[in-house]
Amino acid sequence: MPRRNRKKIVLKKRTLVAGCLTVETVKLKDMLSQSGPGPQEEFPSTSQIREPLVLQQAEPTCLDPPADVGSSTYHQRKEKTFEEWRDLQPHLQRSFVEGHALPPDAKCDFCEEEVASVTCKDCGPYAHFCVGCSSNFHRSLLHRPMIWKKGLLYPDEEMRCFRRDHSCPTTYLKTLEVFDAKGRLHTVLFQLCRCEPEAAGILRYHLWPTQPKPKRAVSMELMKLIYFLRMEAHVSLKAASQVIGLQNNLKEKEVNALYSELTQQSFAQFQTFSANVYMQAVPQSKGEDFPACPKEPIP
């Protein structure tokens, strides 16, 4: 009696190679035998299979190309947005350049009488001053006003002066270099006194002294920015200094000077200072000390 020929059940394995869909014929028994380690059982014959074997098509994956209609609509929308930005670029450039120019008939924002010849982007986009009002207003501000001379902008190199209302017979003046919130260097004249350490007196002006007997100081805002770049983004002090320099168009001298001051234990001591101040600012109290807590035990 001739042996009954068993039907071979095959599966079609689809693979996507370089955007082309190829179909290979693989025996189901061979595919199961390659599924992994473990005891292999003989695959039953077709007569032993009672339920029909239904092969369903796999759901599309991220490798599958999008539909033609959706793809064309997406690319059309992207091209339209790109063309809008391309047409807008000349207007943006002209608006930015014209925003830095000082109108010839502009008046001082303070006295409203003298012709304005000083502009300050730190004060605002249209902050215009005369020379006298700018000197009085920026005397204790770490801004970088620009003076118009013969159609060109020149930085205002006037020395800043920091004073506070403190009467002490040991008061004295000292000149230091200060990094502002953008990393720019300024020459500042400080009013200090010998009734406390010099570094503590500089801190009263919201500036971080870089040494116990400092010659330079850094804005507290800038120190906080470097702190978060270092602790959250894991950026080195060198990279943080370079990022600040690129963002604010600093000179190479300013970037190197800032990095040099940060590496002389200044940043490490700032971390200790910040931790101690935070612990003192948040009092450690027990639960019964808070007004909202019940004063008597709850039955």
Q: What is the pTM of this model?
A: 0.65
Amino acid, single-letter form, for residue 182: K
- pLDDT tens by residue, the chain, 299 residues: 455 555 444 444 454 444 444 545 555 455 545 544 444 444 444 444 445 444 444 454 444 445 555 568 889 999 999 999 999 999 999 998 888 778 878 899 889 889 899 999 899 888 899 999 999 999 889 999 999 888 788 888 889 999 988 888 899 999 999 999 999 999 999 999 999 999 999 999 999 999 999 999 999 999 999 999 998 999 999 999 999 999 999 999 999 999 999 998 999 999 999 888 876 654 554 444 444 444 454 44
Read off the tokens for 247.
């963002």
Closest CA to 175 of 216, 232, 119: 216
* Biggest CA pair distance of the chain: 126
Note whether 75 and 66 are within 8 A (CB).
Answer: no
Question: How distant is the alpha carbon of residue 268 from its chain centre?
Answer: 21
Amino acid, single-letter form, for residue 293: C
Read off the tokens for 222.
């800038």
Distance (Å, whole) CA 45 – CA 41: 12
Closest CA to 5 of 45, 32, 52: 45
Burial of 167 (0-12, 13-18, 19+ CB in 10 A): exposed
Distance (Å, whole) CA 123 – CA 254: 22
Note whether 173 and 190 are within 8 A (CB).
Answer: yes
Closest CA to 184 of 213, 236, 146: 146
Closest CA to 188 of 142, 147, 227: 142
Closest CA to 257 of 198, 155, 181, 178: 178
CA distances (Å), origin 201, targets 44, 184, 209 = 90, 22, 9
Helical residues (DSSP H) of 1-138, grouped into ranges: 28-33, 68-99, 131-137
Closest CA to 240 of 222, 226, 253, 252: 226
Distance (Å, whole) CA 90 – CA 59: 47
At residue 91, the pLDDT reads 95
The DSSP-derived string for 81-116 is: HHHHHHHHHHHHHHHHHHHTSPPTTPBPTTTSSSBP
At residue 59, the pLDDT reads 53
Closest CA to 253 of 156, 189, 188, 183: 183
Note whether 30 and 43 are within 8 A (CB).
Answer: no
Distance (Å, whole) CA 50 – CA 151: 94
Distance (Å, whole) CA 88 – CA 27: 61
